[in-house]
Amino acid sequence: MTGRADRVVGTLVAEHGRTFAEEAGIRLRNTPQPLYRTLVMACLLSARIRGSVAVATTRALYESGMRDPRRMAGATWQQRVDALGRGGYRRYDERTATQLGDGAELLTERWGGDLRRMRDAADGDLDELRALLREIPGLGPAGVDIFLREVQRVWPEAAPYLDTKALQGADRLGLPTEPDRLVKIAGNTEPAVLAAALVRAALDRKIVEECLRHTG
């Protein structure tokens, strides 16, 4: 089992081991702007819309200047709608434009636009951090999972963060569904990279078929 699992994980990570933040052009660091852009991406990805559209829209918002809470809150509702439309995010554009504005105002007023202050307030308690994140308009449980999957790269207290969607991908690949076992099998692979690859397997049956075909 271990030998096969090693091969499956190795193939999966080699072909699909790219975080969604990387795909969106975010150089994730523990600084306010990339953390906020990752949060916006998590909000967009959590809707029932193609991941590629959400990632493209994350880029479109950045290119439109809405790259931090102050600028997002300062943009008009119509400017946010237009940027969402340029990214192809049309199905939920009006509601999402409102949520992004409200969320940016909350982050600015309560946390000074800096998600690191929220992290400090949680003081290493992941459940408390989840609860604080849930207060952001538009960020439900799925969005919180997406955000923490990505930021575990720079917030090590969240790692290893392999949520239900990542474990669903592991199950489809015939891998163990215990996070600690998966991390051990993945060896030196960062948990954030492993999680992103597993999520892609959960979302795309072709990836599962490809990995299983190449590993026998």
Mind listing the pLDDT tens digit of every residue in the chain (216 residues)?
468 899 999 999 999 999 999 999 999 999 999 999 999 999 999 988 888 999 999 999 999 999 999 999 999 999 999 999 999 998 788 999 999 999 999 999 999 999 999 999 999 999 999 999 999 999 999 999 999 999 999 999 999 999 999 999 999 999 999 999 999 999 999 999 999 999 999 999 999 998 888 776
Prediction pTM value: 0.93
d(C-alpha 203, C-alpha 131), whole Å: 26
47 φ, ψ (degrees, to nearest 5)? -80, 165
pLDDT for position 185: 95
The amino acid at 76:
T
Phi-psi category of 124—alpha, beta or left, where left has phi over 0 and alpha has psi -120 to 50? left
According to the model, what pLDDT value does residue 215 have?
76
Task: Check residue 216 and give its pLDDT.
Answer: 63
SS3 160: coil
d(CA 147, CA 196): 11
Q: Is 213 exposed, middle or buried (0-12, 13-18, 19+ CB in 10 A)?
A: exposed
CA distance 56 to 62: 10
